[in-house]
């Protein structure tokens, strides 16, 4: 029998491949696989659904991630998927697989983080199950949210000349991860040394306790704008922009000097001898929102707090490129994090 | 720091303990943890949500479970939770964690089983994600279903004198499991021997390819009856009956000679030198429906195909008991399967 390694397809390729024969049958199923969340409709009301599976040793390392932070982050990254659909998360279910290594107190810590996130974002924990696991900790989260009819941007609605906007700043969570990994190695070698994170609090916090951009969705509602396309940045700006380009059948130009980067991110990149733009383009887990709006909105979005206009959509034939500070055009590539490659 | 082993609480105890401080905040959250599925309400329409996590080595053994069957069962057991709320499953999301041991073809097999179940039960696959895993296969499934306002039986509505009804027959899936485990041991010792399952097809099928009782929910709809309480039997009749008794604050009497058992189940129990009633009471994974209806319905339910009236609800003070064939009363205890004990 033939054996094709999963690595040859990667995550997106595998999902596309194994779900290609599934067609939607029910009136209540509006949009299935291929966006941040599925769109259902019950009594004419859009209901958004997104699921995530977090596995110890792949998605998190308990050597430097406190369980409370893990719970908080696990919840927030799912909320982020709902905000990326211009909706509001309302419920989550949490399923746990736990090995004997963990105690009741550990689970209390994990759930105190989940509760903190739920309270802050106004979400209810409504279900889930708990079972034993042979190895480590597994967390399955599903988030259900509320959308507004006619106001749910897909990844496929970006149009030529649209502005490309991004919230917050990029690359910090990835720098936080590399810093934590480095300190873990130092610590493992010499247990007497305590890690020194002073001046690096922001990048650590971005990695361990990310926030979802509810405020941006609220801002968009306030100015009554529905993006033509929207996605949250979990795998890196390049990767997400290419999703929009591909699904909208367009190209894009973004400008290196417009990509928002925090000072601590830049300092850390230099310390690691990395190009800060590469970090901002490909570092994952930012959980910022990336979206496109019509060109006429330029005045509005140039002045919206927390938003940066970083480029524009082009015809598909022009490809997806970065314009560097010295004016060169570089093809964007998805080098974001992919656990299956 | 104090360390309490999770085993001291068990699955239900752990969930109760760690979620006791979570209160529902949103209008769209009607009922949270504590039933087969959560009840949400969007535009006044009940939306049912249930989640499950299946872990290799805990919930399934790929030595004797073909991947296609695993996919089918993983989907069906979630549909069963929605039927237990007198609703119809409409969508599922599937999240996978896969180690390098698995190939693309393996995932095709798994998804062909999921597709078969979705097609048979009229459910759409709408989302999920896939990632690498350090060890084995992990499957997270969330199922979303449609309920009817005012027609969702909880576990807490059973009343004194109500009839206790059960669909199909019990204990077969557990006998199928023990048989497969035995054949696996024999096979491991001597690879030349092929297992002989003739005359045991039914119990094998009940273990490997269970069905959910959509037909019973349709029957109830046809005769326009909403059970006062309903639950699906995943952990064994005793355990589920005790959930209803506890949450409805009632007692119950069930009659040994009325518990439905298939001939193959009885034969297999004898072969294993086990008491067949113990098997029917405590063997898990039947996925039959257990429900209560008012006593006046006696004539209707005594004659409903696929349904057996096995006893009745009593006042809480009388406890939950089995009346044996020789007229003795035995306290029901939850000895069902619990991965955390």
How far, in Å, CA of A279 to CA of A258, rounded? Answer: 14
All residues of chain B having their beta carbon less than 8 Å from the beta carbon of residue A339 are: 131-132
**A140 vs B9, B38, B140: nearest CB:** B140
- Residue in A210, A264, A254 with CA at minimum distance from that of residue A60: A210
CB contact under 8 A, A49 and B17: no
Q: A173-200 burial, b if ≥16 CB within 10 A, otherwise e? A: bbbbbbbbeebeeeeeeeeeeeeeeeeb
Looking at the predicted structure, is the pLDDT value of residue A232 above 70? yes
What's the gap in Å between the CA of A139 and the closest CA on chain B? 9
Assess whether pLDDT exceeds 80 at residue B196.
no
- pLDDT at residue A16, as a whole number: 87
Rounded (10°) CA dihedral B63, B66, B72, B75 = 30
Smallest Cβ–Cβ distance between B45 and the set A31, A43, A107 belongs to A43
Chain B residues within an 8 Å CB radius of A55: 97, 131-134, 138
Local confidence band at A340 (pLDDT 50, 70, 90 cut-offs): low
Q: Tens digit of pLDDT for each residue in A94-104?
A: 999 999 999 99
Rounded to a whole number, what is the distance in Å from the CA of A304 to chain B's nearest CA?
30
Length of chain A (residues): 341
> Searching chain B, which residue's CA lies closest to the CA of residue A33?
B127
Kindly provide the residue ranges of all beta strands, DSSP E only, lying in B135-224, ordered along the sequence: 137-146, 163-167
Rounded to an integer, the average pLDDT of A126-136 is: 88
Q: Which of B173, B192, B196 is nearest to B183 (CA)?
A: B196
Per-residue pLDDT tens for A220-230?
A: 999 999 999 99
Q: Give the homologous superfamily in CATH for domain A6-146.
A: PurM-like, N-terminal domain (3.30.1330.10)
Beta strand pairing status for A289-293 and A229-232?
antiparallel
Work out the percent of chain B whose per-residue pLDDT is above 90. Answer: 83
**Of the candidates B278, B284, B259, B56, which has an alpha carbon nearest to the alpha carbon of residue B176?**
B284
Q: Are B210 and B72 in contact (CB under 8 A)?
A: no
Query: Above 80 in pLDDT, residue B11?
Result: no
Mean pLDDT of A69-83: 97
* A131 contact residues in B (CB cutoff 8 A): 11, 53, 55, 58-59, 339-340
Provide mean pLDDT across the span B22-33.
Answer: 94
d(CA B37, CA B52): 11
Chain B residues whose beta carbon lies within 8 Å of the beta carbon of residue A25: 122-124
Q: Where are the domains of chain A?
A: 6-146, 163-331
* Band of pLDDT at residue B287, cut at 50, 70 and 90: very high
Q: For residues A92 and A143, what is the distance between their CA atoms, to the nearest angstrom?
A: 4
Residue B230: closest CA among B209, B211, B216, B210: B216
The minimum CA-CA distance between B271 and chain A, rounded to whole Å, is 30
pLDDT tens for residues B123-171?
Answer: 999 998 888 898 899 999 999 999 999 999 989 999 999 999 999 999 9
Q: Tell if the CB–CB gap between B91 and A38 is shorter than 8 Å.
A: yes
Nearest by CB: A51 against B42, B132, B140: B140
Q: Which residues of A touch B131 (CB under 8 A)?
A: 11, 53, 55, 58-59, 339-340
Instruction: Give the mean pLDDT of B291-300.
Output: 96
**Closest chain A CA to residue B122:** A25
- The reported pLDDT for the residue numbered B336 is 57
d(CA B34, CA B60): 25
Residues of B in contact with A232 (CB under 8 A): none
CATH of A163-331, one of 3.10.20.30, 3.30.460.80, 3.40.50.2300, 3.90.650.10: 3.90.650.10
Give one DSSP letter per residue of A29-76, joined into a string: EEE-SSSSSEEEEETTEEEEEEEEEEEBTTTB-TTTS-HHHHHHHHHH
Task: Determine which of A13-27, A40-54, A310-324, B259-273 has the lowest per-residue pLDDT on average.
Answer: A13-27
Q: B222 CA to chain A: closest CA distance, Å?
A: 21
Phi, psi values for residue A203, rounded to 5°: -70, -30
CB A228 within 8 A of CB A157: yes
Record the tokens describing residue A111, joined without a space: 């759930």
CA distance B120 to chain A (A): 12
Subunit contact A49:B93, Cβ cutoff 8 A: yes
Terminal-to-terminal C-alpha distance of chain A: 23
Percent with pLDDT over 90 in chain A: 83
Arithmetic mean of pLDDT, A21-30: 94
- Rounded to an integer, the average pLDDT of A270-282 is 96
- DSSP readout, A209-258? S----HHHHHHHHHTT---SEEEE-SS-HHHHHHHHHHHHT-EEEEEGGG
Under the banding of pLDDT at 50, 70 and 90, the label for residue B260 is very high
User: Does residue B94 carry a pLDDT above 80?
Assistant: yes
Query: For residue A336, what pLDDT is reported?
Result: 57
Closest-CA distance, B97 to chain A, in angstroms, reads 7
- Per-residue pLDDT for A72 more than 60? yes
Interface test with A, best of B54, B126, B135, B145 (most A CBs within 10 A): B126
Average pLDDT value for residue range A72-76: 98
Q: Is B305 left (phi over 0), alpha (psi -120 to 50) or beta?
A: beta
Exposure of A258 in the CB half-sphere (CA atoms within 13 A): 19
End-to-end alpha-carbon separation of chain B, Å? 23
Residues forming a β-bridge with A143: A50, A92
Q: What is the mean pLDDT of residues A19-30?
A: 93
Is there a contact between B133 and A55 if contact means CB atoms under 8 Å apart?
yes
Instruction: Report the residue from B5, B57, B98 with minimal CB separation from A103.
Output: B5
Work out the mean pLDDT of chain B and round it to a whole number.
93
Cα angle B96, B111, B68 (rounded to 5 degrees) comes to: 105
Query: Is-contact A220 A205, C-beta < 8 A?
Result: no
Q: What is the pLDDT of residue A337?
A: 53
User: Which pLDDT score, from 0 to 100, does residue B339 have?
Assistant: 55
Residue B128: predicted pLDDT: 80
The pLDDT of residue B188 is above 90:
no
Q: Do A55 and B95 touch (CB under 8 A)?
A: no
Is residue A191 over pLDDT 70?
no
Backbone angles phi, psi at A74, to 5 degrees: -55, -40
Whether residue B49 and residue A142 make contact (CB cut-off 8 A), yes or no, is yes
ipTM, interface predicted TM-score of the complex:
0.92
Chain-chain contact of A130 with B14 (C-beta, under 8 angstroms): yes
B236–chain A nearest CA distance, Å: 17
Q: How confident is the model at residue A339 (pLDDT cuts 50, 70, 90)?
A: low
Chain B contact set for A138 (CB, 8 A) = 53, 55, 97, 138
Residue B328 pLDDT greater than 60, yes or no: yes
Which residues make Cβ contacts (< 8 Å) with residue B12, sequence separation at least 6? none
Residue A132 with chain B: CB contacts under 8 Å: 55, 58, 339-340
Which segment of A10-19, A240-249, B33-42, B63-72 scores lowest on mean pLDDT? A10-19
For all residues of chain A together, what is the average pLDDT?
Answer: 93
Identify which of A25, A40, A146 has the shortest CB distance to residue B144.
Answer: A40
B104 vs A contacts (CB less than 8 Å):
4-6, 8-9, 14, 17-18
Chain B residue closest in CA terms to A32: B126
Distance CA A336, CA B134 (A): 20
Q: Do B131 and A53 touch (CB under 8 A)?
A: yes
């Amino acid at each position: 029998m033939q054996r094709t390694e999963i690595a040859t397809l990667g995550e997106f390729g595998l999902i596309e491949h194994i779900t290609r024969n599934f067609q939607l049958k029910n009136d209540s199923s509006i949009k299935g696989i291929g966006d941040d969340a599925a769109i259902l409709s019950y009594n004419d009301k859009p209901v958004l659904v997104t699921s995530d599976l977090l596995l110890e040793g792949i998605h998190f390392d308990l050597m430097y991630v406190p369980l409370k932070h893990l719970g908080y982050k696990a919840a927030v990254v799912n909320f982020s998927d709902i905000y990326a659909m211009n909706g509001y998360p309302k419920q989550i279910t949490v399923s746990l697989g736990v090995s004997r290594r963990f105690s009741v107190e550990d689970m209390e810590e994990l759930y105190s983080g989940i509760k903190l996130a739920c309270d802050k974002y106004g979400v209810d924990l409504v279900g889930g199950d708990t079972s034993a696991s042979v190895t480590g900790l597994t967390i399955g989260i599903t988030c259900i949210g509320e959308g507004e009819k006619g106001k749910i941007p897909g990844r496929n609605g970006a149009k030529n000349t649209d502005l490309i906007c991004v919230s917050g700043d990029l690359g910090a969570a990835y720098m936080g991860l590399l810093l934590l990994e480095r300190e873990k190695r130092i610590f493992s070698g010499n247990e007497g040394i305590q890690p020194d994170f002073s001046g690096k609090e922001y990048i650590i916090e971005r990695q361990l306790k990310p926030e979802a951009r509810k405020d941006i969705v609220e801002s968009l509602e306030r100015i009554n704008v529905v993006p033509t396309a929207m996605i949250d940045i979990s795998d890196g700006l390049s990767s997400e922009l290419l999703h929009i380009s591909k699904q909208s059948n367009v190209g894009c130009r973004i400008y290196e000097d417009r990509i928002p980067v925090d000072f601590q991110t830049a300092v850390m990149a230099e310390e690691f001898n990395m190009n800060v733009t590469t970090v901002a383009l490909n570092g994952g887990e930012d959980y910022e929102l990336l979206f496109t709006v019509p060109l006429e909105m330029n005045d509005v979005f140039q002045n919206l707090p927390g938003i940066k206009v970083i480029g524009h959509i082009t015809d598909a034939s022009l490809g997806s490129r970065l314009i560097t500070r010295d004016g060169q055009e570089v093809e964007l590539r998805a080098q974001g994090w992919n656990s299956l490659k």
